């Protein structure tokens, strides 16, 4: 290998190494950032989230950010009842969106076994949901979105028609 070429390879190696390191450190930065924003969420001064264009997050985006980690859309369940099951249950219990949304919002702020709209077996199976420290506007939006996920083909208990 000529001198020139080995110098070239060494330089290239350094460049790649530096690029690799900076990728790692930017990953660490973004992890820190999400940990920080999760910390903010657990305080009472919750700030409404925005997407990349600076618009308020939609109900679906809020679900992806704050609920999906526990609630799958459909069975099988993760660590909480799936969304279609909840939509079906709230429809049965309340019959109208306004009352269902109000019940969901007050439950999400302060989950309490005495206030559940599900049967006692849900809390026995999954444990009590943790409180969501989100602004009221976001709680209302995500609850309204949840109500809209009602699927008439879903059979409570897990299956589909
Ligand atoms: C850390 C896991 C977790 C997260 C995150 C979570 N939930 Fe839950 N959720 C649960 C569990 C467990 C239950 C079932 C037990 C209960 O009702 O408390 C539940 C129950 C519910 C219920 C029924 C409440 C009732 O009347 O008993 C609603 C509505 C709900 N979740 C909506 C949401 C929404 C919307 C989000 C996101 C903003 C969310 N959850 C985030 C775990 C979670």
Cα–Cα dist 115/139, whole Å: 17
CA of 127 to the centre of ligand 1 (A): 10
Distance of CA 29 from the midpoint of ligand 1 (Å)? 30
- State whether the beta carbon of 41 lies less than 6 angstroms from ligand 1: no
Query: Is the model more confident about 154 or about 11?
Result: 154
Q: How far apart are CA 14 and CA 80, in angstroms?
A: 48
CA-103 nearest atom, ligand 1: 26
Are 134 and 46 contacting, i.e. CB atoms less than 8 angstroms apart? yes
Give the nearest ligand 1 atom to 139 CA: 38
Residue/partner pairs of 6-14 with CB below 8 Å, 24 or more apart: none
* Ligand 1, atom 6, residue with closest C-alpha: 67
Q: What's the chain's average pLDDT? A: 82
Give the pLDDT confidence score for residue 39 in this predicted structure: 44
Do residues 146 and 63 make contact, with C-beta atoms less than 8 angstroms apart? yes
Q: Which pLDDT band, with edges at 50, 70 and 90, does 28 fall under?
A: very low
Encode pLDDT of 54-98 as tens digits.
999 999 999 999 999 999 999 999 999 999 999 999 999 999 999
100 lines ligand 1 (CB under 6 A): no
Which residue's CA is the nearest one to ligand 1's atom 29?
Answer: 104
Query: Quick check: CB of 87 below 6 Å from ligand 1?
Result: no
Ligand 1 pocket, residue 139 CB under 6 Å:
no
How many percent of the chain have pLDDT more than 70? 70
């Amino acid at each position: 290998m000529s001198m020139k070429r080995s110098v070239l390879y060494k330089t290239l190696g350094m460049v790649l190494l530096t690029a690799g390191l900076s990728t790692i450190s930017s990953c660490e930065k973004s992890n820190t950032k999400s940990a920080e924003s999760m910390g903010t969420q657990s305080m009472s001064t919750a700030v409404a989230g925005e997407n990349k264009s600076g618009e308020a997050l939609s109900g679906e985006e809020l679900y992806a950010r704050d609920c999906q980690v526990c609630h799958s859309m459909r069975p099988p369940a993760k660590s909480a009842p799936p969304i279609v099951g909840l939509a079906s249950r709230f429809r049965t219990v309340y019959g109208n969106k306004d009352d269902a949304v109000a019940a969901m919002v007050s439950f999400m702020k302060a989950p309490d076994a005495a206030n559940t709209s599900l049967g006692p077996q849900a809390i026995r199976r999954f444990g009590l949901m943790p409180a969501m420290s989100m602004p009221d506007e976001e709680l209302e939006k995500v609850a309204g979105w949840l109500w809209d996920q009602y699927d008439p083909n879903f059979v409570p208990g897990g299956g589909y028609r």
